[in-house]
């Protein structure tokens, strides 16, 4: 088990933002060479590992090497690792996301490959760009794989066995900026302290979206102009901070008086919200067509839209993840998640309709498939029974509103039996991300004992 934590600490020291996985791929290749494990480096820095344990059984283990990089301040994720530390039972980071999603999954797999007794043959898929395009899974060389059973280590909660997932559409919406000179006094609205979070796993928690909040506020402050906006970081992250520069019919005293009187209907997770408005002396031009942008954001769906009737689980959601100005364009990044293709298409049509109404460009960047629940699963049953034997606790078969690579993988491997497990990771995709060390130990032992049983009984 010590190896797992050592590997995880190694991984956290390696820059591995989505699309920039070269260094973690090099680390994995060096690991394979050092431990005499068969390997192959594939497209988009995917890595295949294989350990032949002289068994007539083969299982696939899977994780992704990239991470969502968010921070409270400017942070050089391209060249620096994560500033992690231990706090009791948890690994945490100082003002950045931790990358336990999915660095802890890779660490567990690397440690499992060190086990030599009673193991099946193990094939490992390390995919890339899971948090963005999923190009790693889409372009993986599936001819390398012989296994028909797969355990992914890309979950977020111990004792959950994830057996289906939503699909996700990543969307870019843009509009050319027309600028004009203005002598109006400008003000800067600063938003910070919201919880943010994962746009799939946390979307049902009613956490406040900084984009929606910011545009709602300037509308109530009698906005007469928009000059600059920079809120959020990723389409798959609920934005928790940002700035808007605007002008108003109110003076600064009236603005702050009105601001204090506004109610925001916040969730308990957002009780650290901080808002401030100060006069802005930057030489910025007014966006001529600003009203179209403000009205568009105020009308755009955000958050949980629909639940499954039978169990109240999230079925359809939308997240406005980022809005900023780049190269004389307003650019909006957002995502739509759904477990129903028809409802997904209807929601995309609604967004397209709003774009047409307010003269914005709509582009569907990526459409990631969902994967449906499988009624019969040997590996799901084996995982459940093994966990109960080890810890005298029941597991929970979970639907996942997050998008997972299982949809892509299962479409490339016929009759694949697939489940996802993980140690408990709290607040992933945020600066409050943490992973439990004791949970990691339990999940490692759970996986190890499951593989021994699989090798013996299957």
Q: Distance between CA 369 and CA 134 in Å, rounded?
A: 10
> How much is the average pLDDT of 288-298?
95
CA 368 from chain centre, in angstroms, equals: 13
- When pLDDT is cut at 50, 70 and 90, the band that residue 2 belongs to is low
Read off the pLDDT of residues 127-176 as tens digits, 9 standing for 90 and up: 999 998 899 999 999 999 999 999 999 999 999 999 988 999 999 999 99
Burial class (CB in 10 A: 0-12, 13-18, 19+), 187: buried
Read off the pLDDT of residues 351-380 as tens digits, 9 standing for 90 and up: 999 999 999 999 999 888 888 888 899 999
Structural domains in the chain, CATH included, are 2-154+405-457 (3.40.630.10), 169-368 (no CATH)
Q: Which two tokens stand for residue 357?
A: 């109404």
Burial class (CB in 10 A: 0-12, 13-18, 19+), 456: exposed
Q: Distance between CA 408 and CA 126 in Å, rounded?
A: 14
Q: What is the pLDDT of residue 312?
A: 92
Q: Distance between CA 86 and CA 28 in Å, rounded?
A: 24
Read off the pLDDT of residues 299-350 as tens digits, 9 standing for 90 and up: 999 999 999 998 899 999 999 999 999 989 999 999 999 999 899 999 999 9
> How much is the average pLDDT of 5-34?
98
Q: What is the pLDDT of residue 1?
A: 57
Q: Which three-class secondary structure state does DSSP give residue 217?
A: helix
Q: What is the pLDDT of residue 85?
A: 98
Read off the pLDDT of residues 414-448 as tens digits, 9 standing for 90 and up: 999 999 999 999 999 899 999 999 999 999 999 99
Q: What is the pLDDT of residue 384?
A: 98
Fill in the DSSP letter of residue 443.
Answer: H
Read off the pLDDT of residues 202-228 as tens digits, 9 standing for 90 and up: 999 999 999 999 999 999 999 999 999
Q: What is the pLDDT of residue 234?
A: 87
**Residues whose CB is less than 8 angstroms from the CB of residue 88 and which lie 6 or more positions away in sequence, other chains included:** none
The share of the chain scoring above pLDDT 70, in percent, equals 99
> How much is the average pLDDT of 55-77?
95
Q: Distance between CA 202 and CA 80 in Å, rounded?
A: 28
Q: Which two tokens stand for residue 362?
A: 């709509």
Q: What is the pLDDT of residue 8?
A: 98
The share of the chain scoring above pLDDT 90, in percent, equals 86
Query: Is the pLDDT score of 458 beyond 70?
Result: no
Query: Is the pLDDT score of 450 beyond 60?
Result: yes
Residue 120 phi, psi dihedral angles, 5° rounding: -70, 170
Q: What is the pLDDT of residue 111?
A: 98
Give the residue among 354, 368, 382 at the shortest CA–CA distance from 448.
Answer: 382
Q: Which two tokens stand for residue 48?
A: 């295949």
- Calculate the average pLDDT of the chain: 95
> How much is the average pLDDT of 43-63?
97
> How much is the average pLDDT of 251-260?
95
Q: What is the pLDDT of residue 201?
A: 86
């Amino acid at each position: 088990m010590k190896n797992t934590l050592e590997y995880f600490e190694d991984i956290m020291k390696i820059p591995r933002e989505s699309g920039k996985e070269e260094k973690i791929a090099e680390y994995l290749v060096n690991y394979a060479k050092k431990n005499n494990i068969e390997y192959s480096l594939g497209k988009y820095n995917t890595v295949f590992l294989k350990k032949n344990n002289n068994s007539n059984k083969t299982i696939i283990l899977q994780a992704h090497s990239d991470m969502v990089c968010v921070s409270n301040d400017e942070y050089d994720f391209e060249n620096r690792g994560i500033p992690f530390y231990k706090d009791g039972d948890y690994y945490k980071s100082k003002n950045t996301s931790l990358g336990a999603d999915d660095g802890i999954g890779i660490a567990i797999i690397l440690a499992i490959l060190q086990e030599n007794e009673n193991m099946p043959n193990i094939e490992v898929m390390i995919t890339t760009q899971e948090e963005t395009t999923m190009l790693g899974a889409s372009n993986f060389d599936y001819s390398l794989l012989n296994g028909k059973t797969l355990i992914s280590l890309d979950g977020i909660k111990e004792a959950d066995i994830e057996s289906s997932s939503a699909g996700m559409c990543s969307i870019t919406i843009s509009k050319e900026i027309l600028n004009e000179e203005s002598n109006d006094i400008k003000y800067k609205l600063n938003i910070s302290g919201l919880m943010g979070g994962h746009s799939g796993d946390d979307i049902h928690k009613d956490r406040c979206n900084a984009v929606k909040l910011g545009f709602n506020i300037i509308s109530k402050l009698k906005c007469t102009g928009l000059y600059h906006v920079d809120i959020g970081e990723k389409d798959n992250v609920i934005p928790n901070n940002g700035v808007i520069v605007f002008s108003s019919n109110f003076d600064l005293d009236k603005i702050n008086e009105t601001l204090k009187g506004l109610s925001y209907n916040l969730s308990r997770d957002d009780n650290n919200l901080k808002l401030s408005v100060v006069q802005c002396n930057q030489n910025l031009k007014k966006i001529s067509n600003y009203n179209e942008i403000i009205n568009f954001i105020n009308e755009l769906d955000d958050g949980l839209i629909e639940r499954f009737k039978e169990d109240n689980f999230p079925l359809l959601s939308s997240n406005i993840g980022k809005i900023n100005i780049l190269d004389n364009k307003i650019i909006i990044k957002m995502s739509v998640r759904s477990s129903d293709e028809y409802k997904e298409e209807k929601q995309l049509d609604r967004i397209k309709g709003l774009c047409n109404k307010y003269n914005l460009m709509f582009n569907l960047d990526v459409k990631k498939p969902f994967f449906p629940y499988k009624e019969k699963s040997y590996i799901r049953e084996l995982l459940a029974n093994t966990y109960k034997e080890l810890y005298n606790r029941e597991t929970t078969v979970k639907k996942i509103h997050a998008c997972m690579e299982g949809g892509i993988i299962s479409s490339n491997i016929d009759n694949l039996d697939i489940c996802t497990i993980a140690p408990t990771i709290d607040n992933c995709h945020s600066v409050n991300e943490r992973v439990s060390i004791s949970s990691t130990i339990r999940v490692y032992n759970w996986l190890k004992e499951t593989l021994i049983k699989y090798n013996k009984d299957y």
